[in-house]
Structure 1
Amino acid sequence: MNSRVTMGFAVLLLIGAVIAGYWGLVLSRPSPAPTAIPLAQAPAASVAAPVVQTVDDSLRQPVLVLVHDLAPNTPLTAADLTLERVKVAPAGSFNKIEDGVGRSALRALAAGTWLSESSFDAGGSLARMIRPHERALAVAVDEVIGAGGQLSPGDYVDVMLFLPQDASNADKSAQLVIPALRLLSVGELLGPTVDGQAAGNRELSSDERLKLEQRRSSARTVVLAVPEQMLSRLMLATQSGILRLAVRSAEEKNLQRYWAGDNDLVARLDSTNRNLLHFNQLTLSTAPKPPTVASAARAPRGIEIIRGNQVTQQTP
């Protein structure tokens, strides 16, 4: 055999031996032992989620909620109601199905509404925004009267009155008629009810609120919450002269005091202490008025004495 062929064959055998030896070493190594999971930790991972879920459910409270839309004066059945568990239950909400079965509301209620005693109270939106000693009175406004169109429900305003000079009023005057009246609505935009719910017992969508906000600046009427004893004064003022609504600072926290049950806010801020005023009493002038022609004509005349053909006047 040729020497070169023999040498090449030997090289091939050497390479094959090296490869075979390498694979032998690889296959002879022991496989790594699987990592042991501590028995104390394995059950904890599987049990942690149910434990947290159980604790979370125990902290939730049941709230009675409408399943379907409810038409006015329609008695509720058990099929119309369900209990939802929430972390914070709304104040005054029912927590049992029996609390709502057989009851009917005087207004339409939407599905998803949580039920309370106020859900079945009589009255519309404005009637549920005031207390028994108050009255809701609408006042016509424009951009000037309404503080440049910047009024919002919940603001507190002073009602100012300007009296022009005319036949019934000898002097011009400007005065504060009633201080610190709460705005219930501006145009179609309503504030919250006395129990903190949205007017109409539903929350407005973002699009609905945006449309109402856009129309707020051009509103032509506002509704004020007026104490009953001052209702006649405001009514007289609206017909006597020119009104202005002066907005009070939010730092006075009058709205917070109202929700806290402060019923005497307006009475304490009012210094005039008047209940019913005549038009002439609204002027602040104290100067005596000059006698009119009519009063001069009513001055006492002398007594006419006739003696024969002589007539004389004698003043008593």
Structure 2
Amino acid sequence: MNSRVTLGLAGLLLVGALIAGYWGLTLSRQPVAEAVAAPAVTPPAPVAQAPVPQEDTTRQPVVVLVNDIAPFVQITAADVTLEKLRTAPPGSLTRLDQAIGRTPWRALAAGTWLNDESFEAGSKLARMIRPNERALAVAVDDVINAGGQLTPGDYVDVLLFLRMDTNNLESSAQLVIPALRVLGVGEQLGLTNDGQPASPARSNEEKIRQEQMRASARSVLLAVPEQLLSRLMLAAQSGVLRLAVRSADEQRLSRYWAGDSDSAASLANANRELLQFSQLAMTTPAKPVVTSKAPASRKPGVEVIRGNQITQQTP
């Protein structure tokens, strides 16, 4: 009886062991099966799109040089570029095809914006004067050059000192021409008519060199009205010149010789200031009055009339 009970219990234990082993095996395989059956899908991250650049309508294209251009050298596509400027210079070129293939008459530096005047003939000095002006150089020293302080863009009065000699009975000092614009001092030039520097300094060293040469200059370029050229030439050869600098607070100096009416009035005022030098006043000297000889005095006598004959008889 005991052996049968023992066998029964052993069978039950065996069946329980099999069931427990199967259950454990099933539980151990279930996570793998679920992972294979239903893999976790990660949604893709949204791709950030680059913002589309919007054109700034407040800026305007301007053709600018990227290379230095020598005179009489044709401009190529590699020499120019378009830059957007908030304020475009008046008359500037706005398309590359307006500059490519054209040939300038003068040297153009890199960074220069181009316009039609960039391709016109004429030196830097010729583009600094107005149509009714002439550029004339005057020899100066430290005294005439206002102690080396003259700067392009200043306005000066040209004074003349005449010493007493056989042709000039007494010494005199007079104003020859007022309000002449200084175009350049030595090698340093001022601004052209389009407002660009005629001789820009590329570096601080070059700027210092220009200032030193300006202070020791021996010539000054003046913008002289055409009708006053001969006057200034005569003054330069007749006596000692002085250049008197005028105040920058005078607001109408740039228009002093502009316009026919203004020029005539200014010339008349200048003529009234001239002393003892009729040639500078551009007037011909007065011709001497030639007096006719007095008729010979008649001798006292008696006039005798006989018919149609008249005779003079002395008593």
Q: Which TM-score band (shorter chain)?
A: 0.5 to 0.7
Distance 1:50 1:178, change over 3 A: farther
- Give the structure 2 partner of residue 125 of structure 1: 124
The size of the alignment, in residue pairs, is 234
1:189 counterpart = 2:198: no
1:54 counterpart = 2:54: yes
- Give the structure 2 partner of residue 228 of structure 1: 226
Output the amino acid matched with 1:156: Y
- Give the structure 2 partner of residue 241 of structure 1: 239
- 1:247 Cα deviation from its structure 2 partner: 0.7
Output the amino acid matched with 1:220: R
Question: Do the aligned residues in 2 keep the contact of 1:139 with 1:221 (CA within 8 Å)?
Answer: yes
1:177 counterpart = 2:165: no
- Pairwise mapping of residues 149-164 of structure 1 onto structure 2 (< 5 A)? 149-164=148-163
- The whole-number CA distance in structure 2 between the counterparts of 1:232 and 1:278 is 17
Question: Do the aligned residues in 2 keep the contact of 1:155 with 1:247 (CA within 8 Å)?
Answer: yes
Question: Do the aligned residues in 2 keep the contact of 1:172 with 1:283 (CA within 8 Å)?
Answer: no
| Higher share in helix | 1
Long gaps (5+) in structure 2: 1-47, 282-292, 294-315
Q: TM-score, normalised by structure 1?
A: 0.66
- Pairwise mapping of residues 165-314 of structure 1 onto structure 2 (< 5 A)? 165-200=164-199, 202=200, 204-254=202-252, 257=255, 262-263=258-259, 267-272=264-269, 274=271, 280-281=277-278
Q: CA RMSD in A?
A: 3.2
Give per-residue Cα distances to partners, 1:48-79, cap 9 Å, x unaligned: x969x636x22111000123322211222333
In structure 1, the residue corresponding to 2:278 is in which secondary structure? helix
Question: Do the aligned residues in 2 keep the contact of 1:128 with 1:194 (CA within 8 Å)?
Answer: yes
Instruction: Give the % identical residues.
Output: 59
- 1:230 Cα deviation from its structure 2 partner: 0.5
In structure 2, the residue corresponding to 1:176 is in which secondary structure? strand
- The whole-number CA distance in structure 2 between the counterparts of 1:91 and 1:195 is 9
- Give the structure 2 partner of residue 8 of structure 1: none
Q: TM-score, normalised by structure 2?
A: 0.66
Distance 1:127 1:283, change over 3 A: closer
Question: Do the aligned residues in 2 keep the contact of 1:168 with 1:280 (CA within 8 Å)?
Answer: no
In structure 2, the residue corresponding to 1:126 is in which secondary structure? coil
- Pairwise mapping of residues 77-92 of structure 1 onto structure 2 (< 5 A)? 77-92=76-91
Question: Do the aligned residues in 1 keep the contact of 2:201 with 2:207 (CA within 8 Å)?
Answer: no
Q: Which moved more, 1:143-152 or 1:64-73?
A: 64-73
- The whole-number CA distance in structure 1 between the counterparts of 2:109 and 2:145 is 34
Question: Do the aligned residues in 2 keep the contact of 1:240 with 1:279 (CA within 8 Å)?
Answer: no
Question: Do the aligned residues in 1 keep the contact of 2:63 with 2:96 (CA within 8 Å)?
Answer: yes
Distance 1:169 1:262, change over 3 A: closer
Long gaps (5+) in structure 1: 1-45, 285-299, 301-316
Give 1 or 2 for the bigger CA radius of gyration.
2
Question: Do the aligned residues in 2 keep the contact of 1:66 with 1:115 (CA within 8 Å)?
Answer: yes
